[in-house]
């Protein structure tokens, strides 16, 4: 059975799925290995892809997971929203001890989850969230392993959103965005 991670009331989930209000979980600092936990969350396997865009529910600002923020992601045991990594790195929400132990035990590497192992998880999560899907014939033999994905860091996202050039190995700081010529 899949375990839920970071489904806060603020996202509109029912009482049985929700983990309480996000504001009540905000902390001043996180675990010493929080950055590695964020990387692990960023590389999860997508169960669903939703095109909805959302903003940070506390600040109202866009973030690096704004696009598709409510998509569901898993590691085969835990399920979280695609934007949970943002809330972990920004607000340092506490992680369940069982989740943290699993990630550390895996060496912060996402385990493969394809074919025959993915199908029952997909069906379970659809049922758990009250979604119904068409019966998809799962063929474990024809499934391809996905290539590695890169997700921008928070600093890279902010620099890109502001139109700044990131500092390079030459040691120059990011330059100011150019103004429009008239």
Q: Report pLDDT for 62.
A: 77
Q: What is the mean pLDDT of residues 64-90?
A: 84
Domain boundaries, the chain: 3-151
* Bridge partner list, 80: 5, 73
Q: What is the mean pLDDT of the chain?
A: 77
The yes-or-no verdict on residue 71 having pLDDT over 90 is no
The yes-or-no verdict on residue 138 having pLDDT over 80 is no
Could you tell me the two tokens for 100?
């943290």
Q: Report pLDDT for 133.
A: 56
Q: Report pLDDT for 129.
A: 67
pLDDT above 90 as % of the chain: 17
Q: Report pLDDT for 77.
A: 86
CA distance 137 to 134: 9
Confidence of residue 37 (pLDDT cuts 50, 70, 90): very high
Q: What is the DSSP letter of 155?
A: H
Q: Report pLDDT for 34.
A: 93
CA dist list (Å): 151 to 85, 154, 179:
11, 9, 28
The yes-or-no verdict on residue 23 having pLDDT over 80 is yes
Q: Report pLDDT for 158.
A: 76
Which residue has better confidence, 61 or 164?
61
């Amino acid at each position: 059975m899949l375990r839920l991670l970071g489904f806060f009331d603020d996202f509109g989930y029912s009482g049985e799925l929700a983990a309480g209000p996000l504001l009540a979980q905000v902390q001043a600092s996180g675990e010493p290995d929080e950055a590695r936990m964020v990387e692990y969350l960023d590389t999860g396997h997508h169960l669903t892809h939703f095109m909805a865009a959302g903003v940070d529910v506390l600040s109202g600002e866009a973030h690096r997971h704004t696009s598709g923020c409510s998509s569901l992601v898993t590691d085969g045991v835990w399920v979280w929203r695609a934007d949970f990594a943002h809330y972990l790195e920004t607000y340092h929400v506490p992680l369940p001890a069982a989740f943290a132990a699993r990630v550390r035990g895996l060496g912060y590497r996402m385990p493969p989850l394809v074919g025959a192992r993915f199908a029952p998880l997909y069906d379970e999560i659809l049922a758990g969230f009250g979604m119904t899907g068409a019966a998809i014939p799962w063929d474990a033999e024809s499934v391809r392993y996905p290539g590695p994905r890169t997700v921008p860091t928070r600093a890279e996202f902010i620099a890109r959103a502001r139109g700044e050039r990131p500092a390079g190995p030459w040691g120059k700081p990011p330059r100011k965005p150019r103004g429009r010529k008239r």
